[in-house]
Amino acid sequence: MEFSPDTPWQKVLDAVRRWARINSPWAIHYNSGSCNGCDIEILATLTPRYDLERFGVKLQGSPRHADILICTGPVTRQSRERLLRIYEQMPDPKFVVAVGSCGLSGGAFRGCYNIVGDISEVVPVDVFIPGCPPRPEAIIFGMVKLLESLKKGKAEVATVSEGAHA
């Protein structure tokens, strides 16, 4: 049976898929050269006090199951290929959240010889979350921004300002 994008059946499928994506996005976490600070804050975001899972966000292992790539740190020369590979393995539509100052600009490591640059130089980024490291509240805010933009039907680029979580 062939599916064309305009059949009513396909429209229903699309609606179900979008509903599922917004209510339970699965995330994959990759550290492309960060100092760990952002990683432990992402992990803290998943634990009881902040509990990101209440938005349906689930951290899991395989890029092939993931909708959102949460990436931390500047991109080092060695992890560049790996980051690209993970991004390419993810099924469409996929979204990238860059966490931390290093992911935005290279941060404190800008100018070190083994740094390719920030994450947006390697893969397209949808949400930038600044901070060194960002507070868990800021990470939650960033994820909610992303989910809101998904509700509107497209992922527009959003920047979480530092004051927004206060």
Partner 1 sequence: METQRKFIVPIGPQHPALKEPGHFQFTVDGEIVTDASVRLGYVHRGIEKGAENRNWTQNLYLFERICGICSHVHATALAIGVERLAGVQAPPRAQAIRILMAELERIHSHLLWLGVAAHEGGFDTLFMYSWRDREIVMDLLESLSGNRVNYSVNLIGGVKFDVEDKHRDAILRGLDTLEERTRHYLNVVTTDRTFLARTRGVGTMSRNQAELFGTVGPTARASGVARDVRVDAPYEAYTLFPVNLVTDEGGDLMARFVVRTKELFESYRLIREILDHLPSGELTVRVPRKIPAGETVSRVEAPRGELFYFIKSNGGEKPERIKVRTPSLCNWASVMQVAVGHKLADMPMILSGIDPCFSCNDRMVLINRGSSSQVWSWDELRRYGIEYYKKL
Of the two residues 38 and 140, which places its CB atom closer to partner 1 in the complex? 38
94 near partner 1, rule: CB under 8 A: no
Angle of helix 136-151 relative to helix 37-46, nearest 10 degrees, comes to 70
Q: Which residue, 23 or 36, has its beta carbon nearer to partner 1?
A: 36
Tell me the number of residues near partner 1 by CB under 8 A.
43
Question: Which of 63, 59, 102, 98 minimizes the C-alpha distance to 82?
Answer: 63
Contact mark string toward partner 1, 20..59, x via CB under 8 A:
--------xxxxxxxxxxxxxxxxx--xxx----------
Q: How far apart are CA 102 and CA 118, in angstroms?
A: 7
Distances (CA, A) of 44 to 51, 133, 135, 149, 157: 8, 12, 9, 24, 25
70 binds partner 1 (CB under 8 A): no
Residue closer to partner 1, measured from CB, 56 or 63: 63
Per-residue CA distances from 58 to 11, 155, 161 (Å): 26, 19, 24
Residues that bind partner 1 (CB under 8 A): 28-44, 47-49, 60-63, 73-74, 76-79, 82, 86, 107-109, 111-115, 132-133, 135
